[in-house]
Amino acid sequence: MKNMKSKLVDILFLCMTVLPFAAGIVLRVLFRPLTEGVTVTGAQIYFTVPMPIQDLPVTEAQVNSLLVVLSLTGLCLFLTHGVTKIPHSRRQLLAEMLVEKVQELTDSNMGPRFSGFAPFVAAILALSAFSSLSSMLGLFSPTSDLNIVAGWALLVFILITYYKTRGGIGNYLREFTKPVVVLTPVNIIGEVATPLSMTLRHYGNILSGMVISTMLSVGLSGLSRLIFGWLPGAFGQFPFFEIGIPAVFSIYFDIFSGCLQAFIFAMLTMIYISNGFPGEAYEARMKRKSERIARRKQRQAEKTGVA
């Protein structure tokens, strides 16, 4: 009975992993208008929410991003369901291997101080990779929308700024005046350019790969008609060159490039946060803070002794 219940829970988690993508395919079929020829457009707008200042459009990119999150949640629940202290299943071994690899990646690039960043790095890797790979199912990839990637970059930039200020606001502002004061405007521009560069690098590579794949598919279809158009009936219209060849290029544009951009985005996140953290200034600040607390406690003890 216990095994049957465990299997039912596993099936539920697997459905939670697969069904979001199936729902995305259904939404695309229902809402995407039929077109002739090649069209490279942005995300489909499903509906618009009226807002006081500006209306909020709910697009295909936002919905697909949410579907990816739901799918990843189901996958994580499936991998971690029924874990034991001593692993007895390949599923748990796979989950532990993934955790160990991400932890090693985080420790090697950020150091032991940021060891707790491993779940955040894993989330960035999985969200970016699965979002890019969703295009292989015919879905609009969330990473092909500038707004989605910009939101990720903005979140990372907030974290970078937070850890840069851990040494004190004064220390953070003084960094803009180094090595000389006249370079302060350049340093400010460089600071603002961090999220912009992360956004455009990720977005540009994914979008260009999608455009190239579409143009390649259409070009092979035209080549097939040009060479075999003399064949009678349906044979003349059959896209011979579209069999297998686009799949080979898809290995790079959809799989390799998508996973590579996810890895680069995660690496930049780790490097920017760890390198921006002022270790010496933070230690000095914490030392001063502990000394102030010690003096305050000493004064309170003296007052208590006098009373």
From residue 260, how far is each of 40, 128, 256, 257 by CA, in Å? 23, 10, 6, 5
Query: How far is Cα 110 from Cα 50, in angstroms, rounded to an integer?
Result: 43
Structure tokens at 216: 């390649």
Q: What is this structure's pTM?
A: 0.83
Residue 182, exposed/middle/buried by CB under 10 A (0-12, 13-18, 19+)?
A: exposed
Q: How far apart are CA 173 and CA 152, in angstroms?
A: 25
Q: What is the DSSP letter of 138?
A: T
pLDDT of residue 280: 86
**pLDDT tens by residue, 161-194:** 999 998 888 888 888 888 888 888 998 998 889 9
pLDDT (0 to 100) of residue 307? 52
pLDDT tens for 275-301 read 888 888 888 888 888 888 988 888 888
Q: Residues in the chain with pLDDT < 70?
A: 1-2, 33-42, 229-248, 250, 305-307
Residue 97: in which H helix or E strand, if any?
helix 90-110
pLDDT at 56: 85
Q: Where are the domains of the chain?
A: 146-275
Q: Are 133 and 207 in contact (CB under 8 A)?
A: no
